[in-house]
Structure 1
Amino acid sequence: MKAIWNDTVIAKSDDTRIVENNHYFPMKDIEEAYFTGSDHSTRCAWKGKASYFHIEVDGKLNRNAAWYYPQTSYAARPIENYVAFCNGVKVTE
């Protein structure tokens, strides 16, 4: 699977995990140069607290376009520190 934003592959993996129709990519498979931390967070009732990344490619910033769970609940442990995408990031094979 690939995650693409602004015509650039920002993550690529053969080991994504699908939860609630979102592909979660292992942290090791994202292109770190495009990601910066965000202060934004949300909470999922069954997964836990999500942290976010901004994505920047060729000077274009996509705020809070990626999220991950640094510490999940027991039920969501398979996606702990895996990254999912929103805000126009295309995930495709």
Structure 2
Amino acid sequence: MKAIWKDKIIAESDETRIVENNHYFPMSAVKQEYLEDSDTHTRCPWKGKASYFHIIIGAEKNKDAAWFYPSPSKAAKPIENYVAFWKGVKVTE
């Protein structure tokens, strides 16, 4: 699977985990040079507290376009530190 934004591959892995129709990529498969920490956090009733990244390519910023669970609930442990994408990021094979 690949996560693509602005014709750049942000993440690529054969080992994504699918939860609620989202592909979560291992953190090691995500190109860190395109990520910037965000102060945004949300809470999922069953997964726990999510943290976000902005995606930066050149002068363009896609705010809070990637999220992950650094300390998920027990039920969501399989996606601990796995990253998912939205806001126009194309996830495809």
Band the TM-score falls in, shorter-chain normalisation: over 0.9
The 4+ residue runs of structure 1 with deviation greater than 2 A are none
TM-score (norm 2): 0.99
The unaligned stretches of length 5 or more in structure 2 are none
CA distance in 1, matches of 2:13, 2:57: 19
**Partner residue of 2:57?**
57
Pairs within 5 Å for 1:10-89: 10-89=10-89
Spell out, residue by residue over 1:23-50, the C-alpha distance to the aligned partner (whole angstroms, 9 max, x if none): 0000000000000100001000000000
CA RMSD, aligned part only? 0.4
Report how many aligned residue pairs link the two structures.
Answer: 93
In structure 1, distance between residues paired with 2:91 and 2:78? 19
Q: How far apart in 1 are the matches of 2:57 and 2:21?
A: 25
Q: Percent identity?
A: 66
Which residue in the other structure is 1:92 paired with?
92
Give the drift of 1:59.
1.5
- How far apart, in 1, do the equivalents of 2:87 and 2:57 lie? 14
Q: TM-score, normalised by structure 1?
A: 0.99
In structure 1, distance between residues paired with 2:6 and 2:60? 8
Determine the C-alpha separation between the residues in 2 that align with 1:14 and 1:55. 21
Distance 2:39 2:58 in 1: 22
Gaps in structure 1 of 5+ consecutive residues: none
The SS at the match of 2:77 is helix
